[in-house]
Structure 1
């Protein structure tokens, strides 16, 4: 299969490209500069430009590009960058794919469980409505931007991703060094739920979305049993053989992280109902298995 991918240099994109190529798939990487290799195709989401000629023959497109939500303090300018990098990029791709004489059969567009906002301890699946606040609003607009592809008859799937457990990159990429130093601990009171997924399972789930014809619309990419931040802290300490005596009080997080602290302290107990119903099997369904896989 010939597959185009945006965000191919990120944590998930790098792993997905490696996985697909290992199985003999032809991967095209969309880049925002002049192509420097035969497998690269130019796109410019800010200018709404995509080299559709380079996508000829692609049966699938996976859209993973977007500014990191936790990479910087949430100034007004960075919040705009978070939104634009998702909405403009998705719109550019969706319109470009819809314009092709022979469009791809499937468009897997990145999204996030931030769509649901703070769900407390309520188990939340894809039938739940959008939450309130900045991230839910971004996710709503992000998914809506894919409408041209859907209207053109392209099977469009929204991969609502949870916290990916990996040694480098993402939230866990920041946690591992802290815990290895023996400085890890719960955030706030630790009662908030974290909906996680191992990197291995995330890549397998993306590939499942590409090939499972009945899946359209939102699909949660999270492990079956979300756990509290307190449970995550205990597992990290036990597997890394480090104490977890420290904790970061909520007021301190608010000072350090600003507005983003409310999302760190928020609780999301999101479950992958549609993924499980479609026959997907997790290699690391529990947090201890996901963390151990990342360590190994």
Structure 2
């Protein structure tokens, strides 16, 4: 089992879960390998096929964080290139193998566009417009040659991952603790949330079910509006969730990424649900409870 992006928020927990259940985990790293559990790769450059010699599945999570920095023109290029180059390298590598390898390739619900209003978005929905939608379309397209050759590829279209240790919630939680966890914008937008625990469980499910191919949404099966979730989060924190965080303040803090936080994506994970996957935190209430509990650990 190989993972790219194993040091990231999702990859680090996935690696721990795989090791705990007895899988042999190999990290593909962008530097010289320091142990037998690491192998060097250079996104955008041909990958030595021997790197995947004893690997039966790859989870590809490498990519610059969309919420880590302000979206300057330079960082937008970094976001795009970090996804496309690595995906192209892996697609070409698995095509050289003489045996099947399961590929779970990171993706994002950003493909649907930043603001789809009340529209219910499933895996069969059309792509939207905007920077992230363009990036995700190009990102997934790089894996097309492998899919056309019969490689079982699933695209893990991940929503907003809830964790106190990274991502959007690392910025939002401090506001909520101060009683500033009211609606962001008008609060009516749908948020495609998923706890870090359920995100990793869904990735493991996809690894173990290679018959699931194509796009797979990973978000709460019971969609929640942003204002409702912030109110639930306030209840769990025993803080009022009345005062709104103004849109201009979020843009000052998050830059253009704020548009995606303020947008509306009513995403439903039909493929996962139809395959029998069960979310541990399926609602806004259980997700808020999980987030606050994890924050206290």
TM-score (norm 1): 0.94
Structure 1 window deviating more from structure 2 (30-39 vs 52-61): it is: 52-61
Answering whether residue 269 of structure 2 is matched by residue 269 of structure 1, we say no
Corresponding residue number in structure 2 for 1:95: 92
Aligned length: 292
Secondary structure of the residue aligned to 1:29 is: strand
Unaligned runs of 5+ in 2: none
Change (3 A) 1:33 1:183: same
Answering whether residue 67 of structure 2 is matched by residue 70 of structure 1, we say yes
Corresponding residue number in structure 2 for 1:111: 107
Aligned equivalent of 2:204, options 189, 204, 207? 207
Structure 1 window deviating more from structure 2 (216-225 vs 150-159): it is: 150-159
Change (3 A) 1:5 1:167: same
Instruction: Report if the CA contact (8 A) 1:125-1:270 is conserved.
Output: yes
Shift of 1:256: 4.6
Unaligned runs of 5+ in 1: none
Shift of 1:84: 0.4
Instruction: Report if the CA contact (8 A) 1:41-1:51 is conserved.
Output: no
TM-score (norm 2): 0.94
Extract structure 1 runs of 4+ deviating beyond 6 A: none
Instruction: Report if the CA contact (8 A) 1:161-1:222 is conserved.
Output: yes
Instruction: Report if the CA contact (8 A) 2:156-2:217 is conserved.
Output: yes
Answering whether residue 140 of structure 2 is matched by residue 143 of structure 1, we say yes
Change (3 A) 1:163 1:258: closer
Alignment of 1:115-134 (within 5 A): 115-117=111-113, 118-134=115-131
Alignment of 1:139-288 (within 5 A): 139-288=136-285
How far apart, CA to CA, are the structure 2 residues paired with 1:272 and 1:285? 11
